[in-house]
Amino acid sequence: MISIKNLSKNFDTPYGKIEVLKGINLEIEKGDIFGIIGFSGAGKSTMIRCLNLLEKPDEGTIIIGDKDMTSLSKKELRKAREKIGMIFQQFNLFDSKTVFENVAFPLKVAKYPKDKIKERVHEILELVELSDKAKAHPSQLSGGQKQRVGIARALANNPDVLLSDEATSALDPQTTYSILELLKNINRKLNLTIVLITHELDVVNYSCNNVAVIEKGVIMEKGSTEQVFSNPKSATAKIFIDITRNLQIGNTKEVAVV
């Protein structure tokens, strides 16, 4: 479904060129929930932005479905992006628009008929369990509800792929769990391929079938989530596991003291 071959990306800075991604090779099957985990600055957000060409790679190819994203014209790329939904950490909603209008926005851009827009928005709001919030504004919603609106908007065009860039990082643990449950439900119902970028090991463990560990622009390890985190090969994966275990032990001690 998604094939990434020899992907490289550099950024020019006042101090010279920085290699952000270095020869990334990755295969993601249709219908998978695939996690990409790494510490801050590892290159994971740049990588996900390369998938829909919000960042243009310097080298390599990205094939989604039967389309080579790196070889499309501007017009073809705009059309292809309609089938790639994206959700963000900070929601990126229009504060002046209602929930209905936020979800309807990409459909209006795609020039859907008004009756089709209304039908589709109500269908998606029901899927994300926000039918009763259609007339509300983002300021009237909780963080979890805002992220559900973001997910609904990303699903509006009936995409084949959903990209999630740290979508749960700004949420509390209970809300994170509800959002991950929603994404798993969407994956089951729609057979939607989900690529989930995160620095949270628990998020990957709970929701992803397969995972790649990225550090300094290089894929250090990849495989099934169970395999990678039960028997990590890379130093980066081992550090993630050690940090998570230490945090869990710390939380247990804190609870015991209280």
Tens of pLDDT, residue by residue, the chain (258 residues): 899 999 999 998 888 899 999 999 999 999 999 999 998 889 999 999 999 999 999 999 999 998 999 999 999 999 999 899 999 888 889 999 999 999 999 999 989 999 999 999 999 999 999 999 999 999 999 999 999 999 999 999 999 999 999 888 888 989 999 999 999 999 999 999 999 999 888 899 999 999 999 999 999 999 999 999 899 999 888 988 888 777 665 554 443 433
Separation of alpha carbons 247 and 245, rounded Å: 5
Supply the DSSP string of 214-225, one letter for each residue. EETTEEEEEEEH
- Label residue 101 exposed, middle or buried (CB < 10 Å: 0-12, 13-18, 19+): middle
Contact, 170 vs 203, CB < 8 A? Answer: no
Contact, 42 vs 198, CB < 8 A? Answer: no
- Tell me, yes or no, whether 106 lies in a domain: no
pLDDT at 255: 37
Domains identified in the chain, total number: 1
- Tell me, yes or no, whether 143 lies in a domain: no
- Tell me, yes or no, whether 72 lies in a domain: yes
Q: Residue 46 is part of a domain; what is its CATH number?
A: 3.40.50.300
Which amino acid is residue 123, in one-letter code? E
- Tell me, yes or no, whether 44 lies in a domain: yes
- Tell me, yes or no, whether 173 lies in a domain: no
- Tell me, yes or no, whether 182 lies in a domain: no
Q: Which residues pair with 68 in a beta bridge?
A: 63
- Tell me, yes or no, whether 211 lies in a domain: yes
Q: 212: domain range?
A: 2-83+193-257
C-alpha angle 99-31-115 in degrees, rounded to nearest 5: 35
Q: Which residues of 205-243 are buried (b: 16+ CB within 10 A; e: fewer)?
A: bebbbbbbbbbebbbbbbbebeebbeebebebbeebbee
Four-residue CA torsion sign, 234, 235, 236, 242 = positive
- Tell me, yes or no, whether 115 lies in a domain: no
